[in-house]
Amino acid sequence: MSYGRAGTSEVRETRTGERRVTLTVNGERRVVEVEPRLLLAHLLREGLSLRGTHLGCDTTNCGACTVLLDGEPVKSCTMLAVQADGHEVTTVEGLGTPGELDPVQEGFSREHGLQCGFCTAGMMLTARALLDRVPDPSEEDVRWALSGNLCRCTGYQNIVKAVLWAADQERTS
Amino acid sequence: MYPSRFRYEAPHSLDEARSLLAQYGDEAKVLAGGQSLVPLLKLRFAAPELLVDINGVPGLGHHRVEAGVLRVGALCRHVDLERSSVLARHPLVASAAPLIADPIVRNRGTLVGSLCHADPQGDWASVLLALGGHVVAEGPHGRRPIPMAEFTLGPFQNALRPGEIAVEAVAPAPRGQVSGRYLKLERRVGDFATVGVAVALETDGDRVVRAGIALTGVGPHTIAATAAEQALVGRPLTAATVEEAAQLAAEASRPKGDHRGSVAYKRHVVATFVRRGLARTDLEAVA
Ligand SMILES: Cc1cc2nc3c(=O)[nH]c(=O)nc-3n(C[C@H](O)[C@H](O)[C@H](O)COP(=O)(O)OP(=O)(O)OC[C@H]3O[C@@H](n4cnc5c(N)ncnc54)[C@H](O)[C@@H]3O)c2cc1C
Ligand code: FES
Ligand code: FES
C-alpha cells in the first residue's frame, strides 16, 4: 500500500490489483493506493497511523472499531477500505483536540466513562452520531444507541452518564 | 484477519453490475451491506474471485409503498426501515427492523442482502414468508419474481441463478384491517433469535382474511406454520382460534435443545409469541 496527501506526488504507481481511493479522513482529503482486501480499520491504523481506532473482536461483534462514515457509525473491521472511496470518515482523532475536547470526550472524562479505555473511541463516536441526530436523548435512547458497543469494564452506567452530560452541555451552551 | 485476494468492482449502473456477474458466474459475489459477507471473507469461508460492490448503483436504496405494496430496494438498510414513516400498514416489517443485529450493523446491513444470505437464523426471511412476499431477480434473461417460499433453497443457499442479482423484496398489499408483529427472544442485543415468530394478520371485522405465521431459529430453516395459518383463515379471532393456532405453530416448530433453552422451552415460547402476535387490542376476546 502507499499513502499520500491529496495534491502531492506521493502516490506511487499502482501495483497490480491495487486501487486508488480518495477519501476524507477527519476533514483532510487523502489519496491512498490499497489492495481491495484491505479493511478500513487497517487502512486507518497502519496506513494512516490513526491508532485511536481499536480492533477488539475482529468479528463484527464488539464495536470497538467503530468510526463514522458520512456521520453514521460503522464497524471499520467489517468494511473494505476501497468502499470508503468518495466518503468522509471520522475517527476519534477527529472528534476533538486535547485543547478543545468534543463535549462527548469531556463527558467521558468528567463522568469516568472509561476504565481500560479500549472501547472508548467506538463508544464516543457512536455517541457523537446519536447527539447529532437526537440532541435531547433519554437514558433509554442512549442505551439503545450504544447497544452495539460492548464494554468489558464499566458496566455502562458511567458511559450513559457521560453521554447524557454531553447532551446537556450542548443544549445549554 | 484478512480476506484472501479478490478482484473488486464498484459498478455505477445495474447493467454494468449484471454484466460483471454474468461474466464471472459462480466466481462472483455481490457486496451489499457486507455485514454477513465481509466476516465470511475474513474467516475465508468465502473466497470469491470477484466482488461486485453494488453500493454505488443508483436506484436501489428505496423503500416505498405503492398501492399498498411495499417495495424494498437492495440497498435499503435495516436502519432505513427502523426509522421509516411509511410502514403504518406493514407493522410486521416495522417491528422487526429494530430487532435485527445491533444498531451499528443496522446502519449497513440490508433486508435484501439478508434474504440472499439465507442464514437459517435470519429474521427477515420469516417476515417476508409470513407476508407472502417475493424477491425480484434481474439477470441476463430479464426480471423474474421469486416467491419467498421458493427463494431459500437451504442453509446459505438461495434460488438466484449465476449472473442474477436481487434488486427488490416485495410484500403484497394487505387487505382490511392489518395487525401482527415480529417477536424475538434473544439473549442480548446482536444475538440471533433463540425463538423468532413473525405474525401477519388481515381481518375484516373480527373475521380473519389472511394469516401468515413463520418461525425463526426453531428448526433447520425458516418454518412456515401453515396449519396454524389455516386454523385462522375464514374464522373469527377468538381466544379459542388463537389458542389453536398457537399450539399448531408450536407443533410445527422443530427446535433443538441447546444452551439457549430446551426443546420444550422453545416450543412454549413459540406458542406464547403466536398468542401475543395475534393479540389485537381492539378485540377483547384475545386480550
Ligand atoms: C453482529 C451481527 C449480528 C447480526 N444479527 C442478526 C440478527 O439478529 N438477525 C438477522 O437477521 N441478521 C443478523 N445479522 C446479519 C445482518 O442482518 C446482515 O446485514 C445480513 O444478513 C446481510 O445483509 P448485507 O446487506 O450486509 O449483505 P452482505 O453481507 O453484503 O451479503 C450477504 C450475502 O448475500 C449476497 N447478496 C447481498 N445482496 C445481494 C443482492 N442484492 N443480490 C444477490 N446477492 C446478494 C452476497 O453476495 C452475500 O453472499 C447480524 C450480523 C452481525 C455482524
Ligand atoms: S473489532 Fe470490529 S466489531 Fe469488534
Ligand atoms: S473501558 Fe474497558 S472495555 Fe470499556
Chains A and B form CB pairs within 8 A to the count of 83
pLDDT at residue A38 tops 90: yes
pLDDT at residue A6 tops 70: no
Quick check: B34 contacting A, CB < 8 Å? yes
In which domain, by residue range, is B214 found? 178-282
Nearest CA-CA partner of B108 in B34, B166, B58, B41: B34
Residue B240's CATH number: 3.30.390.50
Shortest distance between the Cα of B49 and any Cα of chain A, in A, equals 12
Number of residues in chain B: 287
A3-7, A157-161, B177-181, B267-271: segment of lowest average pLDDT: A3-7
Please check whether residue B169 is in contact with residue B72, taking contact to mean a CB–CB distance below 8 angstroms: yes
Quick check: A90 contacting B, CB < 8 Å? no
Percent of chain A's residues with pLDDT above 70: 91
Please check whether residue B169 is in contact with residue B117, taking contact to mean a CB–CB distance below 8 angstroms: no
Examine the domain organization and report whether B151 and B195 are in the same domain: no
State the distance from the centre of ligand 3 to the C-alpha of B123, rounded, in angstroms: 30
Residue B10: list chain A partners with CB under 8 A: 82-83, 85
Q: What is the pLDDT of residues A71-119, one digit of tens each?
A: 999 999 999 999 999 999 999 999 999 999 999 999 999 999 999 999 9
Residue B1: list chain A partners with CB under 8 A: 58
Question: Can you give the pLDDT at residue A14?
Answer: 52
Residue B206 covered by a domain:
yes
Structural fold of domain A19-94: Ubiquitin-like (UB roll) (3.10.20)
Please check whether residue B123 is in contact with residue B216, taking contact to mean a CB–CB distance below 8 angstroms: yes
pLDDT confidence bin for B286, thresholds 50/70/90: very low
CB of A156 closer than 6 angstroms to any ligand 3 atom? no
Residue to mutate (ligand 1; options B9, B27, B30; most atoms within 8 A of CB): B30
pLDDT at residue A15 tops 60: no
- Enumerate the β-bridge partners of residue B184: B196
Residue identified by cell 493506493 is A33
pLDDT confidence bin for A17, thresholds 50/70/90: confident
C-alpha cell at B210: 389472511
Mean pLDDT of B76-81: 98
Question: Can you give the pLDDT at residue B285?
Answer: 44
- Give CATH for domain A103-167: 1.10.150.120
Mean pLDDT of B174-202: 95
Examine the domain organization and report whether B107 and B36 are in the same domain: no
Question: Can you give the pLDDT at residue A16?
Answer: 54
The CATH 1.10.150.120 domain(s) of chain A lie at 103-167
Examine the domain organization and report whether B121 and B205 are in the same domain: no
Question: Can you give the pLDDT at residue A13?
Answer: 39
Examine the domain organization and report whether B88 and B139 are in the same domain: yes
pLDDT confidence bin for A173, thresholds 50/70/90: confident
Please check whether residue B137 is in contact with residue B146, taking contact to mean a CB–CB distance below 8 angstroms: yes
Q: Which residue of B has its CA nearest to A81?
A: B8
Mean pLDDT of B90-95: 98
Return the number of other C-beta atoms located less than 10 Å from residue B262's C-beta.
Answer: 12
Quick check: A60 contacting B, CB < 8 Å? yes
Examine the domain organization and report whether B72 and B136 are in the same domain: yes
A116-145 in b/e form (b: 16+ CB < 10 A) is eebbbbbbbbbbbbbbeeeeebeeebbeeb
Examine the domain organization and report whether B80 and B154 are in the same domain: yes
pLDDT at residue A64 tops 60: yes
Question: Can you give the pLDDT at residue B280?
Answer: 76
Which ligand is the nearest neighbour of the Cα of A117?
3
Question: Can you give the pLDDT at residue A122?
Answer: 98
Quick check: B1 contacting A, CB < 8 Å? yes
A69 CB contacts (<8 Å, ≥6 apart)?
A79, A84, A87, A88, A89
Q: What is the pLDDT of residues B202-254, one digit of tens each?
A: 999 989 999 999 999 999 999 999 999 999 999 999 999 999 999 999 999 99
Residue B29's CATH number: 3.30.43.10
Examine the domain organization and report whether B193 and B157 are in the same domain: no
Largest pairwise CA distance in chain B = 60
Examine the domain organization and report whether B155 and B84 are in the same domain: yes
Phi, psi torsion values for B15, nearest 5 degrees: -60, -45
- Apex B110 CA angle, A73 and A86, nearest 5: 50
Residue identified by cell 433463540 is B194
Mean pLDDT of B145-153: 98
A126 CB contacts (<8 Å, ≥6 apart)?
A63, A66, A73, A145, A146, A148, A149, B103, B104
Percent of chain B's residues with pLDDT above 70: 98
- Apex B121 CA angle, B194 and B179, nearest 5: 75
Question: Can you give the pLDDT at residue B283?
Answer: 54
Ligand 3 atom with least separation from CA of A114? 1
pLDDT at residue A7 tops 50: no
**For B233, which DSSP code?**
T
State the distance from the centre of ligand 3 to the C-alpha of A154, rounded, in angstroms: 6
CB contact under 8 A, A148 and B105: yes
Examine the domain organization and report whether B269 and B209 are in the same domain: yes
Ligand 2 atom with least separation from CA of A66? 2
Residue B81 covered by a domain:
yes
B171, B192, B212 — which closes off a domain? B171
Mean pLDDT of A8-25: 69
State the distance from the centre of ligand 2 to the C-alpha of A162, rounded, in angstroms: 22
Residue B1 covered by a domain:
no
pLDDT confidence bin for A5, thresholds 50/70/90: low
CA distance B170 to B65: 10
pLDDT at residue A9 tops 60: no
Residue B164's CATH number: 3.30.465.10
CB contact under 8 A, B41 and A145: no
State the distance from the centre of ligand 3 to the C-alpha of B41, rounded, in angstroms: 28
Q: What is the pLDDT of residues A112-140, one digit of tens each?
A: 999 999 999 999 999 999 999 999 999 99
Query: How many domains is chain B built from?
Result: 3
Quick check: B131 contacting A, CB < 8 Å? no
Examine the domain organization and report whether B11 and B73 are in the same domain: no
pLDDT at residue A40 tops 80: yes
Question: Can you give the pLDDT at residue B196?
Answer: 98
- Apex B113 CA angle, B107 and B118, nearest 5: 130
Number of residues in chain A: 173
Window 87-106 of B: residues touching A by CB (8 A cutoff) are 101-105
User: In whole numbers, what is the pLDDT of chain A averaged over residues?
Assistant: 93
Examine the domain organization and report whether B47 and B93 are in the same domain: no
pTM: predicted TM-score of the whole model, two decimal places: 0.95
Q: What is the pLDDT of residues B37-57, one digit of tens each?
A: 999 999 999 999 999 999 999
Q: What's the one-letter identity of residue A123?
A: M
pLDDT confidence bin for A8, thresholds 50/70/90: very low
Examine the domain organization and report whether B26 and B103 are in the same domain: no
